[in-house]
Structure 1
């Protein structure tokens, strides 16, 4: 056994060297997250529905890369997946630059943006579960909850920082600046990953097909998908929502969301082990629903910020709470596929949410997107309660 497991400080430092790849990837994603919907809608002149569909293309390609990534991790280890993801993120910067250069031709510019989003999704699919599995293989399964939590901090913290910084960079250097920074960060991530030792599963005796593993984690994934709609509504449409009501600094909502998300992960890091994944998920989905309702009924930007913070706090532990249970539902040799399959559901959530919420905004009005999102998360709350009752019944029968 690795003696470093008994040294928390050393453990935390080692953990950071793995989840930093998640941070790099999602920071690059965040850089363009706040600016692209406005660029597509205002600069290129396309509808909110088109803007939502283009943004959501990322999650569609992520969906297809998850399965490939999971099998790669289980068979060859997580390092190759991380290396390919960093290459992908660098390529997104190149096509983002091309999209801005050809903005005088909306169709051509949108075509390059579509390629950018597809490449971003491929890169995200490869990096989504890889750092988590890499850390679990290197540091031990008993730290799974902590590893998933730290990875989430890196993910959503990077999105929040990247989204806010992306607004500033776009204002000063246009999309050129975001593209160049994406290329540089992808190269740095690739070079650092090259220095780390790969890890592989010792036993392959119980390896199952990805689709069979997917079936086992699906109940937890569906619940996660419904909870993810709240995040999708804020990450994709909050800047347009603020613009609709003539409020300023909509990107600050993403920062507040991310800040409370990170705080929730750090302050309540032990509650999953203490109370169980389903109970924590139920509590978090309830808090997220309340946060979205606060935004829905907000009469000013400050109230919307409070709602974003509550939503971030609620969403903070949903992924690790249900993720720990998803991992426990399969054998150790299938953990790569389990995490990849479980992660598919957040991709589905974010992929479907863009067009659906965009349609709600186009046909019913911008003011209806957060009541709609709150209703979807509330359905997730009901499903989590059902899963809790089912788990309790199974224990009684055993």
Structure 2
């Protein structure tokens, strides 16, 4: 945009937030069921912890499969249309969840409806979040990429911090139809709001073949995927972990995680530009690993909360820090494809977390998943160190 250079920080943020609000709608829809669905599947429908984890992970697999396509469509059709499609899918997930609750007397049918709703939510997540991020990058220009991705993350985890306890509250008051109805309403309202905003022009230029885009960003994405597992085991299994220890406050632990995430993102996001994405990622992985080890060794709900807070602080800057570096590897007309491909590794990490962690729980107990997650985050730190060393050699 020609006037971006003269905008103040507050004006830039206002432009970004005008479209990042759709990410908030999307991830509030993601957060509302998180603390409720595992217990519903396990306790009311009578399925195992593995099936409960698989139902949660279906959303991430759907996001994984649709994420690259969402970026390609955003490059070609414009991010506004992709966001509108995503919000429709989010709303459909709410409708299907209501039907699943009504059919709880038939466990297999209810589980099938719930699974279908999770698939719709996964597609809605990829389209809404990727489209919103690219939309934001277009309204403020490529120099503000780190700012856009950072605000996108703030919207994501602020929504999830609100969503987890709000979902529990609505479930206690109205049953599953309470939070599922809110998801459906947000899909409709978000669609109408997005349709009223002006579209942005699509960048022209020869598109890079997808396999080349993939080859340029996959290492950044792999590190992101490994680092995401810490969030995955907290989001998916913290309620069952608390229940296994007869503790209360699982939803609060999710909120504390998100609080740490948002605080660091708002307070230290500028460090990505100052020190570089790879250096910031190295410190972030180390902090996330420490938080997970604390949860693994915790002997009280308060200690788990502290570990969740540190994990959120560590995880906070990983996506924008590595994302800025990944997007730099391609031309502007391919940024949507690069962002979608890079983000897909986040979904891969979350998708694998549910079933794999469920198997860990069956063999080694609930606490084992947090030690395993810490080891995976350590692996992500080693990958990032490799990228940093390679960058240093190239600059010599």
Interval containing the TM-score (normalised by the shorter chain): over 0.9
Q: Which residue of 1 aligns with 2:221?
A: 221
SS at match of 2:248: coil
Tell me, in whole angstroms, the C-alpha distance in 2 between the residues paired with 1:67 and 1:142.
23
SS at match of 1:162: helix
Tell me, in whole angstroms, the C-alpha distance in 2 between the residues paired with 1:378 and 1:136.
31
Aligned pairs for 1:93-112 (under 5 A) are 93-112=94-113
1:234 to 2:234 alignment: yes
Q: Which residue of 2 aligns with 1:267?
A: 267
Tell me, in whole angstroms, the C-alpha distance in 1 between the residues paired with 2:269 and 2:38.
34
- Cα RMSD (Å): 1.0
Moved more, 335-344 or 62-71: 62-71
Q: Which residue of 1 aligns with 2:158?
A: 157
Per-residue displacement from partner, 1:13-66 (whole Å, max 9, x unpaired)? 111111100000000111001100111011111111111111111111112211
Structure 2 unmatched ranges of 5 or more: none
Tell me, in whole angstroms, the C-alpha distance in 2 between the residues paired with 1:59 and 1:211.
22
In the TM superposition, what is the alpha-carbon distance from 1:328 to its structure 2 partner?
A: 0.3
Tell me, in whole angstroms, the C-alpha distance in 2 between the residues paired with 1:261 and 1:377.
16
| Equivalent pair of 1:2/1:139 in contact (CA under 8 Å) | no
Q: Which residue of 1 aligns with 2:13?
A: 12
Tell me, in whole angstroms, the C-alpha distance in 2 between the residues paired with 1:287 and 1:319.
15
SS at match of 1:32: coil
Tell me, in whole angstroms, the C-alpha distance in 2 between the residues paired with 1:176 and 1:141.
42
Moved more, 359-368 or 296-305: 359-368
Aligned pairs for 1:315-394 (under 5 A) are 315-394=315-394
| Equivalent pair of 1:284/1:314 in contact (CA under 8 Å) | yes
| Equivalent pair of 2:22/2:129 in contact (CA under 8 Å) | no
1:276 to 2:272 alignment: no
Q: State the number of aligned residues.
A: 395
Per-residue displacement from partner, 1:129-182 (whole Å, max 9, x unpaired)? 111111111111111101100000001111121111101111111101111111
Per-residue displacement from partner, 1:271-328 (whole Å, max 9, x unpaired)? 0111111100000000000000011111000001000000000000000000000000
Tell me, in whole angstroms, the C-alpha distance in 2 between the residues paired with 1:211 and 1:49.
34
Tell me, in whole angstroms, the C-alpha distance in 1 between the residues paired with 2:258 and 2:64.
24
TM norm structure 1: 0.98
Per-residue displacement from partner, 1:233-279 (whole Å, max 9, x unpaired)? 00000011011111111111110000110000010021011111110
Tell me, in whole angstroms, the C-alpha distance in 2 between the residues paired with 1:354 and 1:202.
38
Moved more, 299-308 or 152-161: 152-161
Per-residue displacement from partner, 1:321-375 (whole Å, max 9, x unpaired)? 0000000000111000010000000000000011111111112111211111111
Q: Which residue of 2 aligns with 1:300?
A: 300
SS at match of 2:202: coil
Aligned pairs for 1:75-224 (under 5 A) are 75-205=76-206, 207-224=207-224
1:59 to 2:60 alignment: yes
Give the 4+ runs in structure 1 shifted more than 4 A. none
TM norm structure 2: 0.98
Per-residue displacement from partner, 1:101-148 (whole Å, max 9, x unpaired)? 110111111000110111111111211211111111111111110110
Tell me, in whole angstroms, the C-alpha distance in 1 between the residues paired with 2:201 and 2:341.
19
| Equivalent pair of 2:296/2:367 in contact (CA under 8 Å) | yes
In the TM superposition, what is the alpha-carbon distance from 1:4 to its structure 2 partner?
A: 4.7
SS at match of 2:228: helix
Q: Which residue of 1 aligns with 2:29?
A: 28
SS at match of 2:330: coil
| Equivalent pair of 2:74/2:82 in contact (CA under 8 Å) | yes
Q: Which residue of 2 aligns with 1:313?
A: 313
